[in-house]
Amino acid sequence: MAAETGHDVLGELMRGSLDHCVKCTICETFCPVSNVTPLFPGPKYVGPQAERFRVPREESPDASLDYCSGCGICTQVCPQGVQIAEINTQARAKLRKRTGFRLRDRIIARPDLTGRLGTPVAPLANLMLHSRLPRRIADRLLGIDERAPVPAFAGRTFQAWARKHRSPPAPRRVAYFHGCGANWYEPDAGRRTVELLEYLGCQVDVPRGQGCCGLPLQSNGMFEPARRYVRRLTRRLAPSARHGIDIVGTSTSCTLMLKREAREILGLDDDPELRMVSDHVYDICEYLLMLHDRGELRTDFQPLPLTVTYHAPCQQQGHGIGKPALDLMALVPELRVIENDATCCGVAGTYGLKTEKYEIAMDVGAGLFAQIAEARPDLAVCDSETCRWHIEQATGVRTVHPIEILHRAAGLSGPGH
C-alpha cells in the first residue's frame, strides 16, 4: 500500500488475477474441503466467481466462504495463475469486519499470547486443556471442539534454552526462526534443530524476542493485528538479514508467511524491512537441500532402520520448492520412507479446532489417516506443527518434523529419544 494515498495496488492486482479464470474447475476437483462438505461452495465459486459480485460499499453476503480452510491448494493447482486462496482470505477479512470476531478466534489466533499465559502455569493449564470437563465447557462456550488436538505447554521456552546456549563458531552462520510452536510447546524440537545445524557446520544465532508471525490472525481475517505481529517479528529478524545471514525456519507455514503471504495477502509488499527478511528466509529442509546440491552438506548419516510416512503439508507446498524433506531423508541409510499422496490433513492451522469445522477437518484428513494406518509406520513425518498434532491425534502415530529424523541419523539423539 502506498502510504500517502492508501492506494492498494497489490490488492487490486490480486483481485485482478480473477481475470485469468477460464472456469476449468481444476481447483474445485482438488479442494479438500468442498470435496467432503457441501457447506463450502468451492474455491472457484467463492474466489473468482463470487469476487465479481463483491463491491466495497456493500456488505459481504456470502458467509459460506468462511468454510474455506485456507490451505491454499487451489492457488497451487490453478493452471491460469488465479490467486484464489488469497482472494478468498481477503474476502473473509471483509466479511469478518461485518460479522465481528468471535472470542474463540481471537484466542486461537494468538499462539504467542496463549503461550505467554500458559507457560508459567503449565501443569495446571495442561490439566485443563486435557481434561474432559474444561474441554466440554470450552467447546460449548467458546466453540473450540473438545475432540480437537491442542498441544501441551512445555512449561519452559526454547528462547530460555537458547539464551543459555552458546553456538560454537563455524564457517557458516545462520539465524534460526523458531516460531511459536517450538518456543512454547516443543522447545526440544527447537533444541534439536540447533544441534543438527551445528553438527552440519553452522553457527546458529537465535534472534531474541521472536513473536508470532501473524499467520493465524491473518487466516482468521484479523488483518490489522496480523500486520502488527509480522512487522514486530520482522524487526527482530531484520538485523540478521541485514548482515547477510540466512534465516531458517522449522515452522513451514510461518516461513511461508514471511516469504510471501504477508506481502501478498496483508498487502505489505512495499515494507522494505519485510522484503529484506523475505529474501533471506528459508524453510529448513529447503536450506539443507540447497547445501546438499552445492555439495556442502555432511551426509555421513547413520543407518536408521525405521519405516516412516511423509506428508508434505499444504503450506509447505505453497513454497513451491518441491519436497526437499524426501530428498534429505533419502540420504539416511536403511530408512524406509513412504510418501503420502493425500492432499491435506484437514486442520489447516486453526480451522480444525473449531467446533463447527472439526468434523470437516477429520473428513478432509480421512484419506491421509488411512494411508498412514495402512503403512503401519514407526513414525509419521510432517513439516508443520499443527498438522503433526492433528495427524498424531487422529492416527495415534507419533508424528515428527523431518529434522528429528536427521537429528537421529546424525547420532545426536541418544537412545531412548
Q: Which of 29, 30, 43, 53 binds other proteins (CB under 8 A)?
A: 53
Please name the residues in contact with 170: beta carbons below 8 A apart, sequence gap of 6 or more.
Answer: 198, 201, 202, 203
Whether the CA torsion 161, 166, 172, 173 is positive or negative: it is positive
The CA–CA distances, whole Å, from 163 to 166, 191, 397 equal 8, 12, 33
Comparing CB distances to other proteins, the nearer of 34 and 114 is 34
With contacts defined by CB under 8 A, how many residues of the chain interact with other proteins? 40
403 and 366 in contact (C-beta within 8 Å)?
no
Q: Using the 8-state DSSP alphabet, how is residue 355 labeled?
A: T
CA distance 54 to 39: 20
270 and 302 in contact (C-beta within 8 Å)?
no
Q: Which of 57, 164, 166, 208 binds other proteins (CB under 8 A)?
A: 57
Q: Which of 35, 49, 76, 355 binds other proteins (CB under 8 A)?
A: 49
Comparing CB distances to other proteins, the nearer of 42 and 352 is 42
Residue 158, classed as helix, strand or coil, is helix
CA distance 332 to 348: 30
Q: Which of 3, 55, 244, 414 binds other proteins (CB under 8 A)?
A: 55
Q: Which of 14, 33, 45, 287 binds other proteins (CB under 8 A)?
A: 45
**3 contributes a contact to other proteins by CB under 8 A:** no
**208 contributes a contact to other proteins by CB under 8 A:** no
**293 contributes a contact to other proteins by CB under 8 A:** no
Comparing CB distances to other proteins, the nearer of 82 and 189 is 82
The pairing of strands 307-311 and 246-249 is: unpaired
Q: Which stretch binds other proteins (CB under 8 A): 20-28, 103-111, 146-154, 212-220?
A: 20-28
CA distance 134 to 246: 43
First-to-last C-alpha distance (Å) of the chain: 49
**8 contributes a contact to other proteins by CB under 8 A:** yes
Comparing CB distances to other proteins, the nearer of 21 and 36 is 21
**374 contributes a contact to other proteins by CB under 8 A:** no
Q: Which stretch binds other proteins (CB under 8 A): 46-54, 97-105, 152-160, 240-248?
A: 46-54
> Which residues are near other proteins by CB under 8 A?
4-9, 11-12, 15-16, 18-24, 38-39, 41, 44-45, 48-64, 80
